[in-house]
Structures are given as structure tokens and as C-alpha cells.
Chain A
């Protein structure tokens, strides 16, 4: 029996379950000093002066770094699209541009001392006019985030494909709506953390960091710190979730490393949750003005969107390309021949927008699925029926989208029909009238998704970074006992990629799953890899491991051939043993071959000793995973509270290497989608203060907000050797639209027009009970 496809326990669980995980904050080294940051309480201000005297005199303080001179001695941070990006250093000495920007770094003997001393730093600010809100930022008289640029506008992309003007001219109906996708926070349960350990004698620097891509960090550090990569070691130990927010090299993290080099002492910093809400990247934050052209029968002829992306004050690694991804996925699973999409991107006095689970594509899916819902309602058509009419059908596959993405296989209409069936679409619709008479407002909503994933072939358009690999790696090393270690370039932090890699390698090597260990997240031992993000673990990292395993088997056949005095081409390996094809000679076990490969006791020097292989795999294309979701909700019209009665997700991620892990990935994505639909929001007040800087106001869904999830899987193997598709981001895509569509359905008698999320109770109540107009 193979390991692939089995619900095998995860490799990491034995440690994590007994509290033996090692996250950055759990790690300590001798002579370490602790960092604490002083951050801007204002969204936009000039720094007139910084008084660090009290902090310097505080108990345990080793150093305080602040001010223009210090900041200018620090290296520039790496950012996306460096030529467009305002240059930025780890501390700002002259001006702050968002709440949470680091102004000073205090180093002390204990974390408590550092924190207490940081509170003693006094910064004199001259407030400047604040620019918030993307459309306001584009106005001619808007205050400028970066005056030297002369404008807050970052750029404009306008894609016109097919014949949108003709489509709109020929349309029987044109539906226009506004859709805003709010700003959200990744909120991994582990805040960020960095421990930098210099070795002054050799110039070496070792960095433990809660990150998703240690090799990328190492290469950037080499560039900006002028240290050879051979002297840099970046380790991602256990990492408590990232969801895209730990892909970056942040200003505070670099400040910690720089401080360690200045002092010649280890420096450790653990982010607080309060900091995480302001100083770790945000996501989404787009406003679309959409028009949909429809034929009388509901066929979609064309789609226009003029949208704006609020990117915040600075670029991080992927900031400017996140909304670009929205453009390229805005037609989703639907056959929409003509599109006219215009995107404007702007700077505002807020934290940067960045990649977050489903980035760009979640916004696109939401806008499209909300637009179809609104269109169907406006022309008096059942929204499910309109979707089925417009979905790309299996007969149309392979299908090239207007944006030149090729969908290879799958059955989107069947999945949507199945989701509708599982939720009881018709029964819910049929019971609505009676329930409404009793004051009970229930509704059903559906949405589909097609996740562009498996990032991705090197050099593709969505990679704006000089140093960010598209490939993935694996080194498989078999020891003389036949036990095997996979050194994977992935950097999983909860996804379970290590476990699924072990499963597929176990099958390829025909050895027990338990005989395989998977190591990752350490640039000292791992071949150069891309890390974990963009639903790429199985799709990219899995194939690197598969190819490496195939190479190991080929090598093992060479060894077995030598032992069996046969040509390696004549050696067959099956059932975990090697024999000569057609021969009745006794077979060789894996372990015998592994031992011989190292000690050459029986076969002489007929092969290069050792049993290991490395593979670097650059995927030939991106990958797609797809599905349909359905939500059944009830709205308390007196309070605006939405309860999810049931949620159905029908997903196709191709071959599920470990169904338990796949389900968990989907569940987590769905929960983030529920949060986006109903609860989560990074809120700023009119001065740019983040008023949602705690879990008490940001509102992650808890176990009582989440419904029981009904899952069903379709399996359409992808064209890749493993047949896998991505899955990590899938749940985030269609979930918000399905829920909002269900809310709109429940409130049909009120005719509410939902233009923004989250549908917190007060927001929804105001829609149900609009203020009487004069």
C-alpha cells in the first residue's frame, strides 16, 4: 500500500503536541540582548527631534539607535520594483509615513528592560496632513506621501481585450455596481521574530527568523549587508503561520540584524501583537467600479472594472503586483470574451499592502462573484442558473482566458451543481417565503473559484523581485541503513508540506514513510529553494522531491546492478527490492543496496559511492485548482447579526497527497474567507490611527463563529507528474462572495445593496434600515 493518498499523521506533530516546538522566541543564545522598537503614533509627521537620554540611562540598556544620522548609516531595504519604489531604511530619521513605522530601536539585557526603556524615548513630531483612502489620494490637492514623486499615483494598467465597447453596445442589460474589498491583516498566531547572531571574528552572521523563504532572505542580506552568502545562515525554525506576511525582509528585522553587527552581540526581537497589527503588512484594500454587459438570456458579454488599489506608504516584496493579479484573474471560471480593466495604484499614509493567502485572486473572485449575483438579481434571473449558463464548460477545455491563462481540465458546472445540491439550494429557496412571514430571514449563496497557483515559473510577470526564485529544490540523501532524509527548499510553517513530501518520496523509493525525515528552513543544509507561499508546496516542491527521488532510484539501480553483476538497465525495482529482469536470483533489499552504495564491499569501484541526488525544479507553467462553495445563512434583521447555518465547499486540488492535510488547508482558508466576509477589518480613524490593533477590535472568527464545514472533493489530476494542484489558498477565494451572496438573498425583501465588507452587524443593519431621507 502506498503512502500517497493516506491520512498519515504529520511529521512535526510529535514535537508540537508536547510543547517542544521551537519558534524564534523559544530560542536563546549566550550574551543575547533584546530589542524593542519605538514606533510612530502618527500617520504622517516630520520628526523634529528624538530624546533618547532617559532611555539610555534606563536599567539594562545597551544601546539606543535613532535619528537621521543613524538611519542613513543603515542599508536600504529591498523592495519590489526598486526603480519605482521610494528608498527606505530600517529606521526613519526625518519623517514618518504610517502609524507603526519604526523610529528608534532600544537594545537591553532583557526583553522587559528593552520594552520599558523604549517607553522612555521621547519623539517630537510636527504633524503633516494625512492622506487616506485611494480616491482621495488621487485628487489633485491631496497631501503627498512622497513629495519628491510629485504624485501619490504609482501607475496605471489598462487592459482592453476582445471587443468590450461592442459588447456593451450590443448588451440588453448593463449592470453597474461598486465593490470594495476591505483591508485585512494576516494575523498569524505567532507574531514576527528575529534572532541575529554575529561572529565578529569571521564576519559570519546567523539569523533565526520567522520567515517563509530563508534563501531569498539570505541573498538579499548578502546584497545589502555586503556579507558573502557563504558567511550568512538564515534559519526558519518552527514558524507559527505566515499567510504571506512573513515573506518579506522587514525594516525592523533588518534593524535587528544591523544592530547585532554593530554591537558584535546577538540581538533578539519578538514582535508584540499590537505591533503586528501596524508594523506587519496588510492586504486587499481595493475598490472596484464594475459594469457587466449581459444578453437578455443572461449570457455575459463583457466586463469592465475601473479599480484602485491602496498600496500603503511603501513597497514590500510584492506590493505593486498584488492588484495586477486581480486583473489577470478577474474573469474567474466564466467565459467572458471581452474585458476592459483599468487599475490605478496609489500611496497612502498606511502600512503596505502585500501578499496574503489568495492575494489579488481573492479580490478578483469576490468582485466577479458578487457582480454575477447582482446582475442575475437585477435582470430577474436565478443566480445559480446564470452561473451555470456562463461557466466554462468541460467541452471548452483547454480554455484560454482573455488574460492568456490556460485552464486545462475540470468540470466547473458539475462542481457548482454539487455544492448547490449539498447545501439544499432549492429547499432553502422554497422555504424562504414561509420563514419570512415568521420574521426569519434565511438565504443561500454560491460562488466558484479558479485559483491561479503553484508560483511559479521563474521570470513570470508577477515576480517583481530581483532575488526571488520560482523553482523549488530537494536533496534526498540515503544513509547506509537505508533511512532517508529529504532536504526540501520549501519552508512549511503549518502547511504539512514536509509530510506530503515524505509520502510521495516513500512511494517513489518504495520504503516506509517512517523511514523518511524531511528537513527544511535552514540555508546551511538545504539546497537553494523558494520557500512556501502561493500554493506551491506540492505543485512545485513536490515535483522537486519526486525528481530527486527518481534520481536516487536510478543511482540505486546502478549499485544493485553492480552487486548483481548486471547492467543497471536490466535491474528492476519493485516491492522494495532489486532484481535482474527475468532472473530468479535472490533479490536485494533497499537497505543492502544503501549499505553497499557507501562501503563497496561486494561490487568493486563500478559506481561513484554514495546514494543521494538533488533536483531543482522550475515548473513549466502555473497551475490551477478550482471549486464551488455554498453558504446558508440567517440574518437577524433587528441586530444585523449574520449566522452561518451551513457551509459547503466542493474542491478539486487534483490528487490529494494527504486528505487530512488537504482538508485542513481548505478549512483554514475558508475561515479566513469567513473573516473577510463578516468580521475582520483593519480600521483607520480620520487621522490614520489603526483603531483595530487588537484581536478585540480586529475580530478573527473563533470556533463559535465558524459553522461546521461540509467538504466534498472532485479529483481531476493536473497534467503534472503527481497530478496535484495547489490548495493552500483555495478556501479564501470563493468563501466571502458565497456568504455575502447568501446575505443578500436572505435580505431580498429589503433590497439591500452591499458594496463593502465585512458585513459586521452595524454595517448590515444600516443597509436594512436606511436612515429616512428628507
Chain B
């Protein structure tokens, strides 16, 4: 077992776990933050995407000890004081989610991307979410929502 302290959604959390624990399982099973999902075994689907120290990463491809001392934002930390992030509002307005399973991952990938690329074009948006798979939406509404946030029209 190894002792890990990680700041999750602004709160410092101390956990003791096996070093082979994946960050996604630490979040889901130790911290009960089940909004971050596991959709594959090979780092392809992005359903587990969180923002770690400002960058979107696949939490299924981070060992818990690698997250020690870092700051992690999950989908549960996206809204502040109960106010939805503009991305969350845009996802709702643009029907950018259906079954919702991939949604947290898309939100977090989109959040980190738009924070550093506030005025992207459509091609850049599509590339930014090319590490996330969705089976329901055909991506059109997700792209629409991200562009709406970028353009401040949501």
C-alpha cells in the first residue's frame, strides 16, 4: 500500500491504496466520484478524462502514485457553487449528450482545450476531442456546443 495525497476538485484528499491502482479507480472507488467512467482497457475511449494540473489526461492511464501531489479536476468539480460551467450549459442547449457515459470525458477534454485555445476553428475542435469516443451523437452536437462556448453564444 502507498499513501497518496491528491487535490481533487480543490480539496486535498489522503488515500492509502495499492500502487497499481489506477487514478480512475481511486476517484471512483476511494473517493466515490463516479462521474469519471471506464469505457475501455487500452486508453482509447477517453470516458475517464480528467484535468490534471491544467491538462486533460486519461485517468485510466495514470497510476495513483503518479497523481500524488497533483491537482485533479473531475466532472463533479466543473460547476462552481452550483453554477454550471458554460460548457455544461452549451452541452445541454446543443443536445451534445445522449446516453451520457462519454460526456464527462468530453466535457473535461473540451474544458482544458478551450481554456488554452479560446477561439478555435471547427477543425481544431474536432482534433481536440479525437481522443474521446462517442457512440451516440456522431460528434456534431458536441462540436456545435464547443464552438458556441468559444464564440460566446451560449
Contact = CB atoms under 8 A, between A and B. Distances in A.
Given A23-B101, A703-B142, A10 B95 contact: yes
A189 B45 contact: yes
21 contacts: A13-B92, A13-B100, A16-B103, A18-B76, A19-B34, A25-B37, A112-B18, A112-B25, A186-B135, A189-B99, A240-B100, A270-B38, A663-B140, A664-B141, A667-B141, A672-B135, A702-B130, A702-B132, A703-B126, A704-B130, A731-B138
Given A25-B38, A238-B100, 8 more contacts: A13-B100, A17-B92, A191-B39, A240-B37, A663-B95, A694-B41, A702-B130, A731-B138
B75 interface: yes
A12 B100 contact: yes
B100 A16 contact: yes
Contacts of B143: 703, 708
Contacts of A241: 98-99, 101, 135-136
B102 interface: yes
A190 interface: yes
A702 B41 contact: no
Interface in B92-137: 92-95, 97-104, 107, 122, 125-127, 129-137
**Chain A interface, >50% SS class:** loop
Given A667-B138, A703-B143, A708 B122 contact: yes
Given A16-B103, A189-B39, A189-B134, A664 B92 contact: no
A631 interface: no
Given A188-B101, A702-B139, A13 B91 contact: yes
Contacts of B132: 702-703
A327 interface: no
B36 interface: yes
B59 interface: no
Nearest to A190: B101
Nearest to B20: A112
Nearest to A659: B95
Interface of A: 7, 9-10, 12-14, 16-23, 25-26, 112, 186-191, 238-241, 243, 270, 272-274, 493-496, 660-661, 663-664, 667-672, 674, 694-696, 700, 702-704, 706, 708-709, 731
A756 B130 CA distance: 27
Contact of A704 (B78, B79, B99, B126): B126
Nearest to A711: B140
A108 to B, nearest CB: 14
A706 B93 contact: no
A239 B99 contact: yes
Nearest to A671: B138
Given A239-B99, A694-B44, A187 B135 contact: yes
B41 to A, nearest CB: 5
B42 A189 contact: no
A272 B139 CA distance: 24
Interface string B36-67: 11111110110100000000000000000000
Contacts of B122: 708
Contact of B100 (A7, A21, A273, A664): A21
Contact of B44 (A23, A270, A695, A704): A695
Contacts of A7: 95
A26 B36 CA distance: 10
A188 B42 contact: no
Of the listed residues A112, A189, A670, the one surrounded by the most CB atoms of chain B closer than 10 A to its CB is A189
Contacts of A704: 126-127, 130
B40 A695 contact: yes
Nearest to B85: A17
B75 to A, nearest CB: 4
A696 B38 CA distance: 16
B92 A10 contact: yes
B86 to A, nearest CB: 12
B35 A703 contact: no
A706 B133 contact: no
Of the listed residues A18, A669, A696, the one surrounded by the most CB atoms of chain B closer than 10 A to its CB is A18
A12 B101 CA distance: 12
Contacts of B34: 19, 21-23, 25-26
A702 B45 CA distance: 10
Contacts of A274: 41-42
